[in-house]
Amino acid sequence: MTYLERFQNTILALLTWTMTLVTFVATLDVIYTLAKYLILPPVSLQINELLSFFGSILLVLIGVELLETFKTFQIDKTINVLSALLVALIAIARKVIIMEINDGTNDMGLLGLSAIIISLSLGYYLIKRSESIEK
């Protein structure tokens, strides 16, 4: 194993452990937030609190998907394009969920966001379709 490969493996292991820690802490935060809302009165959740909670859940899901991408890269030394597209789609979905429409969002920003969603979805569809044709 060359010096560069050892360095790459060390950095990848460090990133994997850091991502694991961040995902674990974010999961604990989601559990704590849910327990706090369920145990402490009043139980009525406002829409902003629910959107924030769903955004936190999607953030944990992004972390899990990135960990899966790291694991795949460690084993195969390749990056799975489907995983990368899936992470990007989840991140955009999180952005849409926590976005406040009445909070001064401009039309061009929404148009750009929808173009990104359509592009990522189309790319995901085309890759999945080409995989099913190959089989």
**Burial of residue 27, with CB atoms counted within 10 A of its CB: 0-12 exposed, 13-18 middle, 19 or more buried:** middle
Domain ranges in the chain are: 3-134
- Two structure tokens written together for 7: 């360095």
pLDDT in tens, the chain (135 residues): 799 989 988 998 999 999 999 999 999 999 998 888 778 776 666 777 788 888 899 999 999 988 988 888 888 887 888 888 988 998 998 888 887 666 666 788 888 889 999 999 999 999 999 988 887
Distance between CA atoms of residues 73 and 67, nearest Å: 10
pTM as predicted: 0.76
Q: What is the pLDDT of residue 23?
A: 95
